[in-house]
Amino acid sequence: MSDTKMDSIISLTKRRGFIYQGSEVYGGLSGTWDYGPLGVQLKRNITDAWWRHFVSNRDDMYGVDAAILMNQKVWQASGHVDTFVDPLCEDTVNHRRYRTDHILKDNGIDAESMTMEEMDAAIIEHGIKSPDGNPLSPSRTFNMMFKTHVGATEDESAISYLRPETAQGIFTNYKNVVDAFYPNIPFGLAQIGKAFRNEISPRDFVFRSREFEQMEIEYFVHPDRWEESFEELLASTHKFLSSLGLRSENIHELDVPEADRAHYSKKTIDIEFDYPTGKAELLGIAYRTDFDLSNIQQASGKSMEYRVKGSDEKFIPHVIEPSFGVERLMMAVLSEAYREDEVNGERRVYLHLPEELAPIKCAVSPLLKNKPELVEKARDVYRALKQKYDGAVMWDDNGNIGKRYRRQDEIGTPRCVVIDFQTLEDDTVTVRDRDTTEQVRVSVKELV
């Protein structure tokens, strides 16, 4: 895989209505992306698949949807106000800002386990300049949370933040769910929602952006039995990734060393994926101990203890956190699905998407759009398939059949249905397969 492949994927997503640059008509806004009709549906299919796998199909998961704006005490207690920082350096001539570890990575130096002082020393040692060729300033910390004020006043008491993660909204609702449902432990709370990080240098298409969507689970366990839950969730995660069409040879586990783990984590497994831009983190599973609930108990003065049913045993649960980024998953799915081959001597591009994820399940075409009898019959088939596939069917009569096939291939439509003159005689249609390009005759009754 290569940057050339990534460029091809980015071009396809713009051309076919998956992903657009945010605010593009006004020159764009770095680190923001808009999703077109097919991108919206692909994202929804991914999130729906995740919810089915981890929530609907299990008896130990409960869904929540917390507010994006939260009391500032949430972020003080969690440590985000003091520790949610990245190293920032600055071009001393034009004052453009960069993440120091990204500058080092772009110059072939892995800075993942370096302190900020070690990064600065490496820049001096290797004579590294800014992308514009100018000297770089010493690094400083930069808090990535977007600060805002709630209400009409702008004093310290009105400060809030756009949440940088969805996890804290789950933790603050732990006691509410326990009081309302009192589930048997272990159990999990799951949430899908937006998060915001003021990235210094967003990059690599939708991989690192300032506004993104997360799918997170906080799985509450007995302190002595966290390992079995960790392994079960890790195995379930691999099964989910496989269902998205991600091949195992492109997926790698990294047992994160203690020096590189978040301050709250006693064990973290990063799942990395071979993107066209290189191997990078797709998602993470972290053992957070009782860090979050203990902090909430201390800061709020309210007990976060769980009492085992029919027993006097009580404890603050420990937590396993599988955390998924929707956009990173979407980028992985597109990277895995992108294919190029040759059909009848011509280059063909198609997306080998699993049918469950394909934004359009089927395209319906009359062989000729200027023949009313073909169009009328095609409309009947189209309406029937719209009901079967819950609306995920496209009407396509633009251009000749070959061009329609190529267009549907590029958006990943598994099947194209063509109504021709034989259809009027025996009520059969031509069904063309995206991956093999083979065509078969199928009765309309069987099709719908």
Pick from 315, 432, 43: nearest CA to 442: 432
Average pLDDT over residues 374-381: 96
Average pLDDT over residues 218-233: 97
In the predicted model, is pLDDT for residue 177 greater than 80?
yes
Which tokens belong to 89?
């350096």
Classify residue 331 by burial, with Cβ atoms within 10 Å: 0-12, 13-18, 19+.
buried
Which tokens belong to 17?
């209505």
d(CA 326, CA 322): 13
Pick from 195, 203, 280, 206: nearest CA to 13: 206
pLDDT band at 309 (very low <50, low <70, confident <90, very high): confident
Pick from 152, 157, 150: nearest CA to 76: 157
> Domain limits of the chain?
3-72+160-334, 360-447
Which residues on adjacent β-strands are paired with residue 37? Answer: none
In the predicted model, is pLDDT for residue 15 greater than 60?
yes
Architecture of 360-447 per CATH? 3-Layer(aba) Sandwich (3.40)
- How large is the greatest C-alpha to C-alpha distance in the chain, in angstroms? 79
CATH assignment of 3-72+160-334, among 3.30.460.10, 3.30.930.10, 3.40.50.360, 3.40.50.2300: 3.30.930.10
Average pLDDT over residues 394-409: 95
Average pLDDT, the chain: 94
* pLDDT digits 0-9 by tens, 100-118: 999 998 999 988 788 899 9
pLDDT of residue 442: 95
Give the SS3 label for residue 335: helix
Contacts by 384-387 with C-beta closer than 8 Å and gap 24+? 384/444, 384/448, 385/417, 385/447, 385/448
Q: Hey, CA dihedral for 66, 70, 75, 77, is it positive or negative?
A: negative
Average pLDDT over residues 194-213: 91
Which tokens belong to 104?
């080092």
Pick from 33, 56, 30: nearest CA to 43: 33
State the CB neighbour count (10 A cutoff) for residue 430. 18
Which tokens belong to 380?
């009947």
Tokens 């949807």 — which residue?
65
End-to-end distance of the chain based on CA atoms, in angstroms? 39
Which tokens belong to 430?
């031509």
Which residues on adjacent β-strands are paired with residue 339? Answer: 350
Give the SS3 label for residue 273: strand
Percent of the chain predicted with pLDDT > 90? 85
* pLDDT digits 0-9 by tens, 60-96: 999 999 999 999 999 998 888 887 888 999 999 999 9
pLDDT of residue 2: 59
